[in-house]
Amino acid sequence: MLNNDEKIRRKIILPFSVLILAILILCVYGGYHLQKHSLNVEIDSKLVGIKNLFDRFQAHEAKFMQSQLEFLAANEKLLAAWQNKDRTSLYQLSRPIFAEIKKKFGVTHFYFIGPDQVCFLRVHAPDNHGDTINRHTMRTAAATKDLAYGIELGPLGTFTLRVVYPWLINGEIIGYLELGEEIEHLTPQMRMVSGLDLIFTINKSNLDRKKWQYGVKMLGKKENWTDFENFVVIDKTIEDKNQQLKTFLLHSHNLTKNLTIGKRTYRFASLPLIDAGGDTVGELIALLDITKQIAQLKKMLLLSMASLLVVSGALFIFFYKYLGRIEKRLVAHQDHLENLVAARTKELQKALEEVKVLRGFLPICSFCKKIRDDQGYWSQMESYISKHSEAQFTHSICLECRDKHYPELNSSNK
Contact 271, 284 (CB under 8 A): yes
Instruction: In whole angstroms, give the CA distance from residue 354 to residue 320.
Output: 50
List of E strands, 237-361: 258-261, 264-274, 280-289
Task: Give the pLDDT band (50/70/90) at residue 241.
Answer: low
Greatest mean pLDDT range, 17-21, 148-152, 206-210, 404-408 = 148-152
Q: What is the dihedral of CA 402, 406, 410, 411, to 10 degrees?
A: 170
pLDDT at site 2: 47
129 pLDDT more than 70: yes
Task: Give the pLDDT band (50/70/90) at residue 140.
Answer: very high
Beta bridge partners of 175: 167
Sheet-wide strand order for 280-289: 231-236, 196-203, 280-289, 264-274, 258-261
pLDDT tens for each residue of 273-289: 888 888 898 888 888 88
Q: Strand 280-289 vs strand 264-274: parallel, antiparallel, or unpaired?
A: antiparallel
The closest alpha carbon to 64, from 145, 215, 173, 165, belongs to 165
Q: What sections of 235-290 are H helices per DSSP? A: 244-247
pLDDT at site 92: 96
Instruction: In whole angstroms, give the CA distance from residue 116 to residue 137.
Output: 14
Which of 28-32, 74-78, 316-320 shows the lowest per-residue confidence on average (mean pLDDT)? 28-32
**Percent of the chain with pLDDT strictly greater than 90:** 23
What structural domains does the chain harbor?
Answer: 11-295 (3.30.450.20), 357-409 (no CATH)
162 pLDDT more than 50: yes
Q: What is the CA radius of gyration of the chain?
A: 55
pLDDT tens for each residue of 62-119: 999 999 999 999 999 999 999 999 999 999 999 999 999 999 888 989 999 999 999 9
The closest alpha carbon to 358, from 387, 383, 331, belongs to 387
The closest alpha carbon to 374, from 358, 396, 392, 393, belongs to 358
